[in-house]
Homo-oligomer: A and B are copies of this chain.
Amino acid sequence: MEPGGRATIRDVALRAGVSVATVSKVLNGRYGVAAATAERVKQVIEELGYEASLVARSLRNVSTNVIGVLVADFEPFSTEVLKGAADAIRPTGFELVVYSAAGHAEQHPGWERRYLSRLSGTLVDGAVLVTPTVTDLEARVPVVTVDPHTGPVSMPMVDADNLNGAKTGVRHLLDLGHRRIAMITGRNDLESAVLREHGYREALADAGIPVQEELVMPGGYHPSIARESARRLLTMPERPTAVFAASDLMALATVDVARELGMDVPGDLSVVGFDDVPESVRVSPPLTTVHQPIHDMGQRALEMLVRLIRGEEVQTHVRLPTRLVVRQSTRAV
């Protein structure tokens, strides 16, 4: 063992005067080692601060006792899922490794397939995929997805009730007397975004108000695109009195634009967001928005995964309720 280097099982074996096989047995509590020998080996392990390499071990073993969470990036949504997953993993005895494309995901669509391929069968016993773009992966380990994109979803999934969340948000505006309600949409390739738009349309339909297509503008979940759309909406001859945005960040952009145009929120314009990100409460006025139980989604996904790994049955689709949080960006007309 080089100075400063990591001790390997061979270093331990050498120093204890036994074979690596014996050390391995001690390590894994297998039978067939004399008490005295085991004791000596343990002592050397202690001295050397030896710890078996996760990599070598998992190359050899079928199971690793490690669960993987794959994320495209660390942003508010994925980190919140992570917290939920961490809470759920505690009692299970599994350990957690999170693997991130670190923003290279856009350049490589299908990152989840590649990552899963790189990790499964070796490093992890199962994986949680957060907002994957590919939804019909086959892996040699169980996989659960959280808030996947559109497409045929062949994997167990956890998502929020985007449809009813959107309906509730729009109905809130309706209840306040708004009739000209615009929407800034998300990305069409995201199942959640599509459902939020459906919710908007259904809420209006339920109220007997025809959807005016010119009031439905793209936002792409991008503040800059949302700004553009907000500007066009708010400078229309007959402008809307309320805007429902498919995400908080887009709602916030809308508030900004309204301000720039000299309007007061909620005085001249009511705005409802979606997600309930931390920022939504830090801004002024605090944003009325539809809360997504992101933490719980992470928790449930992990629980499902563990059941799957243990060979138990699971519900293939868990949909968690959303709820409206009324703050101060909405007001009666």
Contact = CB atoms under 8 A, between A and B. Distances in A.
Interface of A: 2, 4-6, 49-56, 58-59, 73-75, 79, 82-83, 85-86, 89-90, 94-104, 113-114, 117-123, 138-140, 278, 281-282
B102 A95 contact: yes
Given A54-B119, A117-B49, A75 B79 contact: no
Given A82-B79, A121-B6, A140-B5, A97 B98 contact: yes
A114 B46 CA distance: 11
Contact of A102 (B73, B89, B113): B89
B54 A123 contact: yes
A146 to B, nearest CB: 15
Contact of A117 (B6, B59, B73, B113): B6
Copy total for this chain = 2
B97 A4 contact: no
A36 to B, nearest CB: 26
Contacts of A54: 118-119, 122-123
A117 B6 CA distance: 7
Given A54-B122, A114-B51, A121-B53, A83 B90 contact: no
Contacts of A95: 99-102, 104
Q: Which of A54, A75, A139, A140 has the most CB of B within 10 A?
A: A54
10 contacts: A5-B140, A6-B117, A50-B117, A53-B59, A74-B79, A86-B100, A86-B102, A95-B99, A95-B100, A281-B282
A5 B96 CA distance: 23
A4 B140 contact: yes
Given A74-B83, A100-B98, A117-B50, A56 B278 contact: no
The 9 A-B pairs at the shortest CB distance, nearest first, are namely: A51-B117, A55-B122, A74-B86, A98-B98, A79-B79, A6-B121, A278-B278, A54-B118, A90-B103
A136 to B, nearest CB: 12
Contact of A99 (B90, B94, B97): B97
Contacts of A86: 73-74, 100, 102-103
A118 B5 contact: no
Contacts of A85: 74
A95 B100 CA distance: 7
B90 A96 contact: no
Nearest to A3: B138
Contact of A138 (B4, B79, B102, B121): B4
B97 A97 contact: yes
